[in-house]
Structure 1
Amino acid sequence: MRRPLALLLALLAAFLVGGVVTAGPAAAHATLVSTDPAEGARLDSAPAEVTLEFSESVSLGAGYARVLASDGARVDAGDAAVDGRFLTVPLPPDLPDDGYLVTYRVVSADSHPISGAYSFVVGEGDLVAADAAGVAPGTDPAVAAALPVGRWLGFAGLALVVGVPVFVQCCWPAGWGADRLRRLTLAGAVAVVAGALLTFLLQGPYAAARGIGSVLDPSLLSATAASATGWTVLARALLAVALAGVLLPAWRRGAPPSTPRVVVAGVLAAGLVLSTAAVGHPVAGPWPGLAVTVAAVHAAGMAVWLGGLAALLAVVLRAGTPAGDLAGVLSPWSRIAFGAVAALVVTGAVQAVREVESPTALFATTYGWVLVAKLLLVAVLLAAAGVSRVWVQQRLGVRRPRPGGRRSLTAHAFAAAAGSADGDPAGTGGAVVEQAADLRRRLQSEAAAEHVPALRRSVLVEVAVAVVVLALSAVLVGTPPARSAVARPVDVMLPLQGSGGPSGSVQVSVDPARPGGNTMHLYLFDDSGRPTQPAGITVSLAEPSQEIGPLDVDLEPAGPGHYVADGMTIPGAGTWTLAVSVRLDEFTATTARTEFPVR
């Protein structure tokens, strides 16, 4: 393996091993943090509104937020409102005593929907089961299958509409007259537009949990058009059309574009790359500007590398291409490809660290396993690229000779010719040197031509594997990041609800929130926020969907208002409900509930 390729693999390993192990926690893929009223709360009077707090900014888009009575009728008084991380649903002032179910489906900053439900009671009544609404919260299978197709079209089109012109401009100016490369570029623009429109049409049904038949629903289209995701994908389509339009005259003339057109094309290409990066996981969590920049560099490196490979395979490496032309094309391409691959490896590793965070998440989540598969294929790509790079260096004479090493046949022939010129007394040495140079080029071209099929096979492997890598990338974009799917400690402050309304609060922490042994800490506070000592306290765990529990949790006092359950056992994975019951005195009791995932 060549030294540059070894360096790239070393960088990849260093980022994944060092970064994933040492990365700190980061927010992503919004999760519900708290609700008011709380889960399972029993209220004496109806609240004016229901408030849900999420871990990051959300939007309603084509989603919904509803409050239903026990008979399934909607009782919310108006449209839900979103303010950053907070979702508010207004309620009428005369809400009767009953059990109520809050259901929601919102869109996180990374364009993925989050749905759920919880219940509370006003006056006397029973809690409403979370599945009583009869609404399937999952994404329609046809929509889920079509979304990656749209993303794949966008990635493949980006590689062609950006990478092919870069290759021609920087490595093979004569390629502006190649009809096949013109068709590749236009096909790339068409693919970007098709992928963007398909993504735009599917975003509404995806956010609203509707079927594939609702892609033309005016309300869903309007909601998508009003969202950041909708604007971004539409801008992507327009930029692709504009870029193709700017480059088309150069293709028709068969000559490189003028400098002003090159500048305009560069700006449009940068905008196209940025609009591709500014959707999905990079825009969520901390430092979105930096994450989008990293993703844009990653997308640009992908486009330059894979677009150049497609151009090589389509025209330059076809049978009958003069080997001399190959030398003029492949030597600069080898340097450009190395730079693009270096950018891909480094930025890809940074993205992996951001989205995974821990070795556990890498091998315990769908996102992690898809990423592992992608990394293995990238390793195959790098190996194939290394073979191609060695071919270029050895067959086209761009590699520097090793001191004391064996010289090739071309080098021996040139040395012999040069030696004859040194002994030429008639002053014809210049002509002999020129003949020797011609001999060197001829021998080099013959040797290169003999091995062009091997290079073609190597590039074909690169392109074939790249198609699969792009497909896995399209799946990753729509998969919740590993860091949001792996087990995370619970740390939440809950209001204590009693017959007279809120009465203090309880802070609950569960670590590590995984099946098996866990440690739970409870801190009780009065209305003034000071620690308070209750007359009695009980805690229970239940997993309603699996009909487990309630299971009593043994508590030990650890200080004023502080209780610990060291070694609390959670039997298995699922969405668990933790219920806290606090008896403040002989006549006053309060409760609090929260749900948390165990994976």
Structure 2
Amino acid sequence: GGFAPAWWGHAGTKQLRVVALAVDWAHVLAVTAWVGGLAALIWLAVRHRDVALAQPVLRFSRLAGWALAAVLATGVANTLFGMDDPAQLTDTTWGRLVLAKLAVLAALAWLGQRQRERVVPRLSSGADPQAARRAFRSIALAEVGLMIVGLGLATTMASGIPADAEASARIQSIAVAFGDGQINATVDPAAAGSNYLHLYVLDDVGMQRDDVTDPAVTFESAGTTVDSDLLGAGPGHWIAPAVILPTPGTWRVRVTATVAGQPTSASGAITVR
């Protein structure tokens, strides 16, 4: 049915399922009212040339304003359901599709305002009605074209991976034994270039240790060695905000530290895109 995308799309996978589905339904209803109303007006303008368009266009303009507000509000809500970091708007494919949809929406808003300010007064005045109808049709058809683009972007988003899942999937991590506990190291986005490193040193029950000194992390691949400038971020937790891995491929990660007075080391491998 008309609400099927809300059931099989991303809204059905979220923890706040009822809220997400309600937002999705409201989004679909607003888009349907907007697209359907515009299509009806174009059909009226083309098939019934003797019918005055001023009042129908003015009424639809008010409806379109409310539909625009609803589409924007529900679109923002859907975006928040699909990402957990503003940087994902530019760092992920799904986020860039959101920005493209926003650009389409802004263009539609501009065309709608132009229709209301320039075309509706001409339709109401009755002066040169044929020219006024042609102006209406031109802008309305441009709106339809943009709506088709927007629906295509929405379809691509519905069948794609949300930004939060895409960002999570590209993170590489290692978890290996380290003394009587273990280390967890994550590299984000695990791509050639600058990466963000998190290093956690845990005890035998998974708690972050406070008896670790002199931690060091090095990356090695094909004769290239990259050292990390670690910064303390809390007990048993260090970060390196800018680890430059110059080439894609398999990198061996070596971690050394002194744990409870004992030199300790471990290593693992990550794949860099």
Q: TM-score of the superposition, structure 2-length normalised?
A: 0.71
Amino acid at match of 1:504: G
Change (3 A) 1:459 1:516: closer
Query: Aligned equivalents of 1:558 and 1:466: distance in 2?
Result: 47
Change (3 A) 1:359 1:491: same
| Equivalent residue number for residue 321 of structure 1 | 49
Structure 1 segments unaligned to the other structure (5+ residues): 1-235, 237-271, 398-443
1: CA distance between counterparts of 2:139 and 2:207?
Answer: 68
Pair 1:588–1:504, CA change in 2 (3 A): same
**Paired amino acid for 2:204:** D
Question: Quick one: structure 1 residues 493 and 526, their matched pair in 2 at CA, closer, same or farther if it must change by over 3 Å?
Answer: farther
Paired position in structure 2 for 1:417: none
8 Å CA contact 2:196, 2:242 repeated in 1: yes
Partner of 2:181: 504
- Per the alignment, do residues 529 and 389 of structure 1 end up closer, same or farther by CA in structure 2, a change over 3 Å counting? closer
Contact 1:494 1:592 in 2 (8 A): no
Partner of 1:261: none
How many pairs does the alignment contain?
269
Say yes or no: does 1:526 pair with 2:200.
no
CA shift in 2, pair 1:551/1:378, >3 Å: same
Which residue, 63, 74, 85 being the options, matches 1:347? 74
Residue of structure 2 equivalent to 1:570: 244
Decide whether aligned partners of structure 1 residues 317 and 573 sit closer, same or farther in structure 2, where only a CA change above 3 A counts.
farther
Pairing partner for 2:61 from 334, 353, 360 = 334
Whichever residue aligns with residue 571 of structure 1, its letter is L
The 5 Å alignment of 1:296-445 reads 296-313=25-42, 315-318=43-46, 320-324=48-52, 326-327=53-54, 329-355=56-82, 358=85, 360-390=87-117, 393-395=120-122, 397=124
Structure 2 partner of 1:42? none
| Change in 2 beyond 3 A, CA 1:359/1:461 | same
User: Residues 276 and 511 from structure 1, CA distance in 2 versus in 1: closer, same or farther, beyond 3 angstroms?
Assistant: closer
Q: Is the 1:356–1:482 Cα contact (8 Å) retained in structure 2?
A: yes
Secondary structure (helix, strand or coil) at the match of 1:570 reads: strand
Look up the SS of the partner of 1:378 in the other structure.
Answer: helix
How many angstroms apart in 2 are the aligned matches of 1:340 and 1:558? 47
Q: What letter is aligned with 2:245?
A: P
Q: CA deviation at 1:343?
A: 1.0
**CA deviation profile, 1:360-397 (whole Å, cap 9, x unmatched):** 43333333333333322222222222233335642455
Contact 1:391 1:455 in 2 (8 A): no
| Offset at residue 593 of structure 1 (A) | 3.8
Alignment of 1:58-97 (within 5 A): none
Q: Which has the higher strand share?
A: 2
Q: Separation in 2 of the partners of 1:594 and 1:564?
A: 19
Q: Does 1:458 align with 2:139?
A: yes
Q: Distance in 2 between matches of 1:513 and 1:301?
A: 40
Out of 472, 479, 487, the position equivalent to 2:160 is 479
For 1:384 and 1:534, the matched residues in 2 are separated by 62
- The answer for the alignment partner of 1:223 in structure 2 is none
Q: Deviations over 1:49-75 (max 9, x none)?
A: xxxxxxxxxxxxxxxxxxxxxxxxxxx
Identity %: 24
Which residue identity lines up with residue 46 of structure 2 in the other structure?
A: R
- 1:549–1:468 distance in 2 versus 1, CA, 3 Å: same
Mapped partners of 1:323, 1:337: distance in 2: 21
SS of the equivalent of 1:505 reads: strand
RMSD: 4.6
What secondary structure, in the 3-state scheme, does the structure 2 residue paired with 1:389 have? helix
Structure showing greater radius of gyration is 1
Shift of 1:468: 1.7
C-alpha distance in 1, partners of 2:106/2:242?
43
- Residues 172-225 of structure 1 deviation map (CA, whole Å, 9 limit, x = unaligned): xxxxxxxxxxxxxxxxxxxxxxxxxxxxxxxxxxxxxxxxxxxxxxxxxxxxxx
> C-alpha displacement at 1:568, in angstroms?
6.6
**C-alpha separation between the residues in 2 aligned to 1:276 and 1:321?**
37
Deviation at 1:317, TM superposition (A): 0.6
Q: Match of 1:323, SS?
A: coil
TM-score of the two chains, using structure 1 as the length reference: 0.37
* CA–CA distance in structure 1, aligned partners of residues 49 and 92 of structure 2: 48
Change (3 A) 1:520 1:311: closer
Residue 464 of structure 1: CA displacement?
A: 1.6
Question: C-alpha separation between the residues in 2 aligned to 1:348 and 1:320?
Answer: 35
Q: Structure 2 counterpart of 1:290, which letter? A: V
Cα deviation 1:515-557 (Å, max 9, x = unaligned): 44756544241358583757997643246xxx47564557799
Distance 2:92 2:233 in 1: 36
Aligned letter for 1:390?
E
CA distance in 1, matches of 2:40, 2:223: 60
Deviation, structure 1 residue 332: 3.1
Amino acid in the other structure paired with 2:132: H
